[in-house]
Amino acid sequence: MEVFLLWLGLAIIVGVAANSRGRNAFGWFVLAVVISPLLGGLLLLAMPRGGLDVKVCPECAEKVKVFARKCRYCGHEFAIANPPPLPPPPLFTHRDYDPPVR
């Protein structure tokens, strides 16, 4: 019984550690229970911190989730939930372009 409680306790620690690294706490808790807290913890440590699912807020330069519509630090609203690699701005807009006169 003590082993089971220890197992659960360690799995909870893995979940909390996952949450502090910007990952799904419950998912990691379940993973740690299933594959063992030790393996779960090692796997979590092997993962890059924060992962690739963050973008930098243009207003406050804080890291927020890619799919966030609103910055949780400053409240900046993102236009669309687009991934971070934005296309470069066009060299000219259609307003600058004068169509050829026929």
How near is the Cβ of 76 to Zn ion at its closest, in Å? 4
How near is the Cβ of 35 to Zn ion at its closest, in Å? 36
Integer-rounded Cα radius of gyration of the chain: 22
For position 60 contacting Zn ion by CB under 5 A, the verdict is yes
**Binding to Zn ion (CB under 5 A): which residues in 7-46?**
none
Burial class (CB in 10 A: 0-12, 13-18, 19+), 19: middle
- Nearer of residues 21 and 76 to Zn ion, judged by Cβ: 76
For position 56 contacting Zn ion by CB under 5 A, the verdict is no
Nearest residue to 59 (alpha-carbon basis) of 72, 48, 49 = 72
For position 74 contacting Zn ion by CB under 5 A, the verdict is yes
Task: State the greatest distance between any 2 C-alpha atoms of the chain, in Å, as a whole number.
Answer: 87
Residues in contact with Zn ion by CB under 5 A are 57, 59-60, 71, 73-74, 76
